[in-house]
A and B are shown apart, each in its own frame.
Chain A
Amino acid sequence: MTIDDLAGRLGTAADEVEGIRAELEREQPAPGAAAGLPSREVLEQMTQAWIVQREMAARIVEQIRRLAGDVAQAAENYRAADSLDQGHSRGD
């Protein structure tokens, strides 16, 4: 696998987790107004767990995108160094 392949895979992974995050943002676990104390408690706990899941997904997206960016930058540096080496070789 090349470093560019890895950068591509990471981009795909980030997009996939972003899709999960977006679905968690778009939907709610049980829409509708709670009626009474016990129902409010049940709905609040489910909603809270849903939000935690969405925020975790957001952090993972950020983590993978940061890594993808660093990998892409490393690939760029590698190509720059490689072309420099080849230039030196030709000059020798």
Chain B
Amino acid sequence: MSVFYFVAFLSIFFALMTIFTKNAVHSVLYLVITFFTFTIHYILLNAQFLAVVNFIVYMGAIMVLFLFVLMLLNLNKDTEPLKSNLIKIIGVIAGLCLVVTIAGSLKLLETSNPVVLKDPGIGLVSNLGKVLFSEFLLPFEISSILLLTAMVGAVLLAKNETKKI
């Protein structure tokens, strides 16, 4: 349990650092560390497949994409417009409302009954595969359409038009 609290503290700490740091590249790197702490959470929950996916896809691939996006931008100039204080205050109020709502629903701190982990091996790769290819087969197949859409979109947006318009 103490390991959990330590890792949870790290998650929140690095998530906050992601938001508060001024340098965009540092922000992305903090986000990588945040994701790494999530990987540790998954391992603590014995959700091994999710841990691997989180490590390879999120930390490895998607965060590299984030860095690429930053390199596409021109970060030399300080182009960030200053936000007005009013918007900041409204943002804080809205965020706190969300926190209160979530905290309110968790206030009893009861372990939710239907999903109490009866089988500690539920997060193992083979068990997950069994569910994915039986119960969740349709969403799995449909997700190929989602990937295809993203592929077409990437080609469409990044490809140079030969005809100038």
Do chains A and B stick together as partners? no
